[in-house]
Amino acid sequence: SLSCLPCAQSTQYGTCSLRKMSAMEALELLDQLVDESDPDVDFPNSYHAYQTAEGIRRAHPDKDWFHLVGLLHDLGKVLALFGEPQ
């Protein structure tokens, strides 16, 4: 059932034993992904992350935690490179 899917993923990925990487390594890895939600974009996915973080920084200069969230918001998509559906 779908309700068990989060439990299975938590078991599979929760230990972080498949692969460890820094946030910057994950951002670079995202550049290998063709995002199904935007397949004809001709710039790297990491560029989108930097654009988002910069836009948030300009709009909310006092919320440094929010800048970081903008940078990291798509990192989970790297799982598609390891067989997870987008």
60 is in an annotated binding site: no
Query: From CA 82, how far away is CA 58, in angstroms rounded?
Result: 34
Residue 25 is inside which H or E element, if any?
helix 23-30
Residue 73 marked in a binding site: yes
Residue 52: how many CB atoms within 10 A of its CB? 17
> Which segments are annotated as binding site for Fe cation?
48, 73-74
Binding site listing? 48, 73-74
